[in-house]
Chain A
Amino acid sequence: MNSTTTLSPLPAAAPAVTAPTRRNQAFTRRWRGLVVPFAAIVLWALVSRLDLVNSALLVSPAKVLDTGRELLSSGVLWLNLRASLARELTGFVIGTGSGLVLGGLLGLWPRFNRIVGPSFNTFKQISLFAWIPLISVWFGLGDVAKVVFLSLAALVPVVVNTADGMRSTPATLLEVARVYGYTRAQTIWHVVLPSAAPAIFTGVYLALVYSWLATIGAEYLLVSGRGVGNLLIEGSEHFRMDLVLFGMVAIGLVGWLMNASARTLERALARRLGR
Chain B
Amino acid sequence: MTTTVTTDDLHIHVASKRFDSSQSTDGSLQVLQDMDLQLPPGEFVSIVGASGCGKSTLLRLVLGLDTAYDGAITLGGEAISGPGLDRGIVFQDHRLFPWLTVEQNIGVGLRNASFNAQQKRHLIAEHVALVGLEGFEKSFPHQISGGMAQRVAIARGLVNRPRVLLLDEPFGALDALTRARLQGELQRIWQKERITMLLVTHDVEEAVFLGDRVVVMQPHPGRIRRIVPVNLPHPRNRSDPEFIRVRDDVLADFLAPDRRGPSDVPPTAQPSAAIGFSSERIRFAW
A residues contacting B by CB (< 8 A) are: 1, 3-4, 172-173, 175-176, 178-182, 186, 190-191, 194-195, 197, 273-275
Known A-B contacts A1-B235, A178-B65, A180-B85; the reply to A191 vs B97 at CB < 8 A is yes
Which of the residues A172, A194, A273 comes within 8 Å of B95, measured between beta carbons?
A: A172
- Tell me the minimal C-beta distance from B200 to chain A in angstroms: 16
- Tell me the minimal C-beta distance from A212 to chain B in angstroms: 29
Known A-B contacts A3-B188, A181-B85; the reply to A194 vs B97 at CB < 8 A is yes
Are B65 and A190 touching (Cβ within 8 A)? Answer: no
The tally of CB-CB contacts under 8 A between chains A and B is: 64
Are B83 and A274 touching (Cβ within 8 A)? Answer: no
- Tell me the minimal C-beta distance from B83 to chain A in angstroms: 5
Which of the residues A179, A180, A186, A274 comes within 8 Å of B98, measured between beta carbons?
A: A274
Are B97 and A179 touching (Cβ within 8 A)? Answer: no
Which of the residues B83, B95, B140 comes within 8 Å of A173, measured between beta carbons?
A: B95
Are B65 and A175 touching (Cβ within 8 A)? Answer: yes
Are A274 and B95 touching (Cβ within 8 A)? Answer: no
What residues of chain A lie closer than 8 Å to B141, measured between beta carbons?
274
What residues of chain B lie closer than 8 Å to A173, measured between beta carbons?
95, 97
26 contacting pairs across A/B (C-beta < 8 A): A1-B184, A1-B185, A3-B184, A4-B132, A172-B95, A173-B95, A173-B97, A175-B65, A176-B91, A178-B65, A179-B63, A179-B65, A180-B83, A181-B84, A182-B112, A186-B112, A190-B108, A194-B97, A194-B99, A194-B100, A195-B98, A197-B99, A274-B98, A274-B100, A274-B101, A274-B140
- Tell me the minimal C-beta distance from B92 to chain A in angstroms: 10
B168-189 toward A: CB 8 Å interface, digit per residue (1/0)? 0000000000000000110010
Q: Which partner residue on chain B sits nearest A183 by CB separation?
A: B112
Known A-B contacts A3-B185, A176-B108, A180-B112; the reply to A275 vs B99 at CB < 8 A is yes
Q: Is B131 an interface residue (CB 8 A)?
A: yes
CA distance in complex: A258, B134 (Å)? 42
Give chain B interface residues in 129-145, CB to chain A under 8 Å: 131-132, 134, 140-142
CA distance in complex: A274, B141 (Å)? 8
CA distance in complex: A172, B85 (Å)? 18
CA distance in complex: A194, B85 (Å)? 23
Which of the residues A1, A194, A274 comes within 8 Å of B142, measured between beta carbons?
A: A274
Known A-B contacts A179-B83, A180-B109, A180-B112; the reply to A274 vs B99 at CB < 8 A is yes
What residues of chain B lie closer than 8 Å to A178, measured between beta carbons?
65, 83
Are A3 and B131 touching (Cβ within 8 A)? Answer: yes
Q: Is B215 an interface residue (CB 8 A)?
A: no
CA distance in complex: A42, B142 (Å)? 50
Q: Beyond A179-B65, A180-B85, A181-B84: 20 further Cβ-contacts under 8 Å?
A: A1-B185, A1-B235, A4-B132, A172-B93, A172-B95, A176-B108, A178-B83, A180-B83, A180-B109, A180-B111, A186-B111, A186-B112, A190-B111, A194-B97, A194-B100, A195-B99, A197-B99, A274-B98, A274-B142, A275-B99
Known A-B contacts A1-B184, A4-B132; the reply to A275 vs B142 at CB < 8 A is yes
- Tell me the minimal C-beta distance from B123 to chain A in angstroms: 14
Q: Is B89 an interface residue (CB 8 A)?
A: yes
- Tell me the minimal C-beta distance from A35 to chain B in angstroms: 39
What residues of chain B lie closer than 8 Å to A186, measured between beta carbons?
111-112
Q: Which partner residue on chain A sits nearest B138 by CB separation?
A: A274
Are A3 and B101 touching (Cβ within 8 A)? Answer: no
Q: Which partner residue on chain A sits nearest B132 by CB separation?
A: A3
- Most B CB contacts (10 A, CB to CB) among A178, A181, A182, A191 go to A181
Q: Which partner residue on chain B sits nearest A271 by CB separation?
A: B140
What residues of chain A lie closer than 8 Å to B101, measured between beta carbons?
274
Q: Which partner residue on chain A sits nearest B130 by CB separation?
A: A3
CA distance in complex: A1, B97 (Å)? 30
Q: Which partner residue on chain B sits nearest A2 by CB separation?
A: B132
CA distance in complex: A166, B176 (Å)? 36
Q: Which partner residue on chain A sits nearest B64 by CB separation?
A: A179
CA distance in complex: A173, B91 (Å)? 11
CA distance in complex: A123, B11 (Å)? 57
CA distance in complex: A80, B132 (Å)? 62
What residues of chain B lie closer than 8 Å to A274, measured between beta carbons?
98-101, 140-142
Q: Which partner residue on chain B sits nearest A176 by CB separation?
A: B95
Q: Which partner residue on chain A sits nearest B100 by CB separation?
A: A274
Are B99 and A273 touching (Cβ within 8 A)? Answer: yes
CA distance in complex: A213, B274 (Å)? 57
Known A-B contacts A1-B235, A274-B141; the reply to A175 vs B95 at CB < 8 A is yes
Are A275 and B112 touching (Cβ within 8 A)? Answer: no
Give chain B interface residues in 28-78, CB to chain A under 8 Å: 63, 65
What residues of chain B lie closer than 8 Å to A194, measured between beta carbons?
97, 99-100
Are A4 and B134 touching (Cβ within 8 A)? Answer: yes
Are A182 and B95 touching (Cβ within 8 A)? Answer: no
Are B188 and A1 touching (Cβ within 8 A)? Answer: yes
